[in-house]
Amino acid sequence: MYDIAIIGAGIAGSYVARELSRYQLDVVLLDGENDVGNEITMANSAIVHGGFDAPSYKLKGKFNAPGNIMYEKMCRDLCVPYKRTGSLVVAHTEHDMMTLHNLYQNGLKNGVPDLRIMFEDEVHEIEENVSPDICGALYSGTAGLVSPFELCTKVAENAVDNGITLKLNHMVTNIAKKDDGTFKIETTEEDIEARYVVNAGGVYADDIYKMVGDPYFKILARRGVYFIFDKEIGDLVHNVIFPCPTKNGKGILVSPTVHGNLLIGPDAMPVDKGDICTTQDRLDYIKENALKNCPKLAQYMNKIIRSYAGTRNTPVADTYTTTDGDFIIEESPVKGFVNFAGYESPGLTSIPASGYYAVEEVILPMLKKDGIEPKENENFNPKTRPHIYFADLPEEEKKALIAKDPKYGKIICRCETVTEAEIIDVIHRNVGATTVKGVKKRCRPGAGRCQGGFCSPRVVEILARELGCEMDDIMYDAKDKGYILKGRTKEI
């Protein structure tokens, strides 16, 4: 019997697991996928927002700005790439300028530091490629960029380092509340028993809650499509460039990425859960809107290296007509069952603050009501083992590393300069990679210009060798998303 079972190892569930590992509690983190952070946390804008959009009366407004401030230490502790770039919401009309003033006032209420309105000239001084048609912008100096997949894998790794049990490939199919008040969680692998449950199931959180209680919220899946451009034009803009927001969201942004690419997107289309298709009409829409704020992009459309989509988990009360939801972080009407749901943007940014709140203000008080006051885990260490990014090291350090381990001298991904030693490291860490995509998420082979055209076969070879299995057993991604190899040539 576990003390607490967390369903969902995206950023929400993984961070709650890490926070709970500060205490002497027996916690299991379950996910149906074969890797952590494989759903919403995998595919988003990767922006650490300043925190001026959401109203201060919502949890979104309450956690965004403090979450942003906590990011630097969290990413340092976990050795995750993070850059503070700043962001600009640009205005094209007088009406837009009024919206900026409202956002500015709201930002002040939310406690957002380094926020100011800039006029056209000042904007063009820092961003020469932003449209000449703008009349001003809201600058937010604390906005930044992160690698969400590296963040989630490291958060989960740190939770496991500190004693949490992670069970992947455990899809929850049913939950029963037993007469003694504990829960039996049926999964595709085994039954799990737990005294308390935290539901962090992302876009499926409403379906998971329905297994045990009467529904009181619904999750609407809204797909957002993106393009990634080659690093050659990664510095076309230096800040995250947003249009003025509308009731549908923050609009199509143009942004650098933490690894030096350029990103445009997303739109917001209601879809069926799990639909992450990128369709031509939506891609055209993204391009058209990105050009309004950054017309120079028009000459670089041949530098696109990838498109992808993610689905928002928008909470709605009882109809599909509003997107004015908020994070749901509370003990549900079912005693002992916590929902961490409707956790849409700015969920990534808010997580250090909202994850702390979930544990300190919701879960521990719930345990206390039952007379349980867990002791602190004296061995808790907030830091992961350092991660070596070979390409970023000075020449002398590169030479020293190669002398110690010649596998640092073997470049597997030429686009991103990823060495064999780095790939071996991410396979053997706690919460290590077992798929080609898992390796890509952790250290980037396949994320560059050729998108894995050259390095994927080498990554498959290394995975098979290090995991002690056949190359045909290695998958690109999840089980239902296909194996890469069918067999050996001439043997099929």
Nearer Cβ to ligand FAD, position 160 or 203?
203
In the complex, the smallest distance separating the C-beta of residue 20 from ligand FAD, rounded to whole angstroms, is 15
Q: Single out the residue of 224, 243, 352, 452 in contact with ligand FAD (rule: CB under 6 A).
A: 224
Pick out residues in 313-342 that bind ligand FAD (CB under 6 A). Answer: none
- Taking the C-alpha atoms of residue 93 and residue 136, their distance in angstroms, rounded to an integer, is 9
Query: Considering only 71-79, 111-119, 123-131, 199-207, which stretch makes contact with ligand FAD by CB under 6 A?
Result: 199-207
Q: Is 53 in the site for ligand FAD (CB under 6 A)?
A: no
* Start-to-end CA span in the chain (Å): 47
Is 31 a binder of ligand FAD (CB under 6 A)? yes
The nearest distance, CB 112 to ligand FAD, in angstroms, is: 14
Using alpha carbons, select from 334, 338, 328 the residue that is nearest to residue 365. Answer: 338
Alpha helices in 162-279 (DSSP H): 205-210
Interactions with ligand FAD, residue window 145-174 (CB under 6 A):
171-172
In the numeric block, the tokens 């040539």 are attached to 489
Please report how close the Cβ of residue 47 comes to ligand FAD at its closest, in angstroms: 3
Provide the total of helices (H) and of strands (E) in the chain, helices listed first.
13, 22
CA distances from 180 to 183, 193, 195, 209, 330 (A): 9, 12, 9, 19, 22
Burial status of residue 417 (CB atoms within 10 A of its CB: 0-12, 13-18, 19 or more):
middle
Tell me if 416 contacts ligand FAD by CB under 6 A: no
Work out whether 86 is an interface residue with ligand FAD (CB under 6 A): no
- The CA distance from 344 to 342, in Å, is 6
Q: Is 33 in the site for ligand FAD (CB under 6 A)?
A: yes
Q: Based on the residue annotation, tell me whether 238 is a catalytic residue of this protein.
A: no
**258 sits near ligand FAD (criterion: CB under 6 A):** no
Beta strands per DSSP E along 63-112: 82-84, 87-91
3-state class of 315 per DSSP? Answer: strand
* Rounded-to-integer distance, Cα 443 and Cα 149, Å: 10
Residue 299, class by beta-carbon neighbours within 10 Å (0-12 exposed, 13-18 middle, 19+ buried)? exposed
Choosing from 107, 336, 347, 445, the residue that interacts with ligand FAD (CB under 6 A) is: 347
Per CB under 6 A, which region of 40-48, 373-381, 415-423, 424-432 contacts ligand FAD? 40-48
Neighbours of 132 (CB within 10 A): 8
DSSP letter string over 441-490?
HHH-TTSSTTTTTTTHHHHHHHHHHHHTS-GGG-BSSSGGG-BS--S-TT
Q: How far is the CB of 33 from ligand FAD (least distance, A)?
A: 4
**Residue 138 Cβ, how far from ligand FAD at the closest point, in Å?**
17
The residue within the footprint of ligand FAD, chosen from 38, 85, 140, 435 (CB under 6 A), is: 38
Number of residues that bind ligand FAD (CB under 6 A): 41
State the Cα–Cα distance between residues 390 and 407, nearest whole angstrom.
11
Among 21, 44, 261, 456, binds ligand FAD (CB under 6 A): 44
Of 19, 39, 127, 422, the one binding ligand FAD by CB under 6 A: 39
- What 3-state class would DSSP assign to 23? strand
Closest contact distance (angstroms) between CB of 197 and ligand FAD is 12
What residues have CB less than 8 Å from 32, skipping those under 6 apart?
Answer: 169, 170, 171, 172, 187, 188
Q: Based on CB atoms, which residue is closest to ligand FAD, 265 or 422? A: 265
Answer for which of 2, 4, 8, 433 binds ligand FAD (CB under 6 A) is: 8
Select 221 or 421, whichever has its Cβ closest to ligand FAD: 221
Residue number with CB closer to ligand FAD (358 or 436): 358
Interface with ligand FAD (CB under 6 A): 7-13, 30-33, 37-41, 44-47, 49, 171-172, 200-204, 208, 224, 266, 310-312, 343-349
Instruction: Report the catalytic residues.
Output: 49
